[in-house]
Amino acid sequence: MNKKLRHIYLLGFFFCLGFVATISEGVTSNKDSNTAVRVLLDKAIPKGKVNSLLYSTFYRSQPARGWIRAERNLDILLGPSQQNPIIVNSTPLQDSFVFVRGGRNPSDKISFHGRLFRGALKWMRNRDRSFSVVNYLSLEDYLLGTLGSEMSPSWELEALKAQAVASRTYALYRIQHPKQAEFDLEKTTQDQVYGGVESEHPRVAEAVKQTAGEVLLFKDLPIKAFFHSRCGGSTETPAFVWNHQQGYPQKKVSCPYCLQKPFSWQTFVRIDELLKWTGLDFGRDFKIEPGDRGPSGRLASLKLISGEQRATIGTDTLRSHLGYTRLKSANFDWQHDGELVMFQGVGNGHGVGMCQWGARHLAQKGKTYREILAHYYPGSTLKVSH
Ligand SMILES: [Zn+2]
């Protein structure tokens, strides 16, 4: 790397850290607490309990008020008035939010809804007399709790390392483009599945450690590093799947594994299920016609025709309505018989970015995580920050 380029990378990286530091609010206990991520755990609960795994629990609202040491178990309730919006263990607070954490001992964790979490929890009172709960923790700790839910910890280490970089990059992109003002990510497949401490695994921890701080950049910024289960033979562009561009011009690539094993599926859907979002009536001459089909085989949309009426529905919208696990990809054909439509397709997932089964195959063939990432995210640069 030449000197000028290195300077630009460092500037970009420290810009990222500076941005993140403004939202961490000094509540994460990890030494690299500047790189904090905020994960929405719940958004409509009337009250709750929080326990420290070890000894005392600490809480605070405004930083100037400092942390208050409390018993190991905390009860958090809605307060009776605007002046006291939250009550913690019978103590009324004057703020509409409160942070809760365990001790500074790294082995301490916080328990909420029967699950353990690293970092701190921010409880925020909503306007509808409920709480939203957001987990603040370091980016590397977050990866420990998400990677094993996105890829089996039993898979090859190089595949897990590729997943660690992809997940870290996606999270960093979200930190710079938060889902909402109060949080960066959701804990579901809407972003990345995050289960806290119980989802951690030693092999995942090794993959995170061996790639610590590494992210994929395009023009010095983290890319929106999409990934999916099986591409079916070729990946796809976000412009085709979601009709939107991102800063990084994600290209489609062929996938050696899925070309051999495309993962075939089929599902049956009633016509009234297909029509219920369109406002069309089901007529005897009902038929389905394809919209644009890309070179990867995926359909951008379907045309539903019933007599004189017709409607066009995007395949991603259709998958969202029917269920992503039911209509597993947008690469399908169909047969229409009476009131049933049988869809037959290949692949599993939206098809953008890294194909996880393809990544595993490349790892089994001896490819490194860097080679795997270079294959599925062509044009991006892997930044090594250490
Ligand atoms: Zn594939």
Among the candidates 129, 144, 160, a domain finishes at 129
- The rounded Å distance from CA 118 to ligand 1 centre is 34
Say what the pLDDT of residue 27 is: 66
Length of the chain: 386
Among the candidates 71, 103, 129, a domain finishes at 129
Say what the pLDDT of residue 385 is: 57
| Owner of token pair 């939010």 | 97
pLDDT digits (tens, 9 = 90+) for 286-342: 889 999 998 889 999 999 888 888 889 999 999 999 999 999 999 999 998 888 999
- The rounded Å distance from CA 367 to ligand 1 centre is 15
- The rounded Å distance from CA 343 to ligand 1 centre is 20
- The rounded Å distance from CA 380 to ligand 1 centre is 19
Instruction: Tell me the residue type at 215.
Output: V
Report how far residue 67's alpha carbon sits from residue 57's, in angstroms, rounded to the nearest whole number. Answer: 10
- The rounded Å distance from CA 352 to ligand 1 centre is 10
The total domain count for the chain is: 2
Among the candidates 107, 129, 151, a domain finishes at 129
Say what the pLDDT of residue 24 is: 59
Identify the burial level of 114 via C-beta atoms within 10 angstroms of its C-beta, where 0-12 means exposed, 13-18 middle and 19 or more buried: exposed
- The rounded Å distance from CA 263 to ligand 1 centre is 9
In a domain, 125, yes or no: yes
- The rounded Å distance from CA 382 to ligand 1 centre is 21
Helices within the chain (DSSP H only): 3-24, 139-150, 157-176, 202-210, 238-242, 256-260, 271-275, 315-322, 356-364, 369-376
Q: What residues of the chain score a pLDDT lower than 70?
A: 1-34, 282-284, 385-386
In a domain, 318, yes or no: yes
- The rounded Å distance from CA 231 to ligand 1 centre is 4
In a domain, 98, yes or no: yes
- The rounded Å distance from CA 105 to ligand 1 centre is 43
In a domain, 140, yes or no: no
Which pTM does this prediction carry?
A: 0.88
Contact indicator for 116, 196 with CB cutoff of 8 Å:
yes
- The rounded Å distance from CA 375 to ligand 1 centre is 11
* Residues bordering ligand 1, an ion, CB closer than 5 Å: 231, 255, 258, 355, 358
| Owner of token pair 């992809």 | 166
- The rounded Å distance from CA 353 to ligand 1 centre is 10
- The rounded Å distance from CA 257 to ligand 1 centre is 6
- The rounded Å distance from CA 258 to ligand 1 centre is 4
Count of beta carbons in the 10 Å neighbourhood of residue 19? 13
What are the backbone angles phi and psi of residue 65, rounded to the nearest 5°?
Answer: -80, -15
Contact indicator for 330, 315 with CB cutoff of 8 Å:
yes
- The rounded Å distance from CA 53 to ligand 1 centre is 41
Give the closest residue to 263 by CA, choosing from 314, 228, 302.
Answer: 228
Contact indicator for 78, 87 with CB cutoff of 8 Å:
yes
Report how far residue 213's alpha carbon sits from residue 382's, in angstroms, rounded to the nearest whole number. Answer: 10
- The rounded Å distance from CA 224 to ligand 1 centre is 19
- The rounded Å distance from CA 190 to ligand 1 centre is 21
- The rounded Å distance from CA 351 to ligand 1 centre is 8
- The rounded Å distance from CA 158 to ligand 1 centre is 16
Range of the domain at 96: 47-129
- The rounded Å distance from CA 185 to ligand 1 centre is 26
- The rounded Å distance from CA 347 to ligand 1 centre is 8
- The rounded Å distance from CA 357 to ligand 1 centre is 6
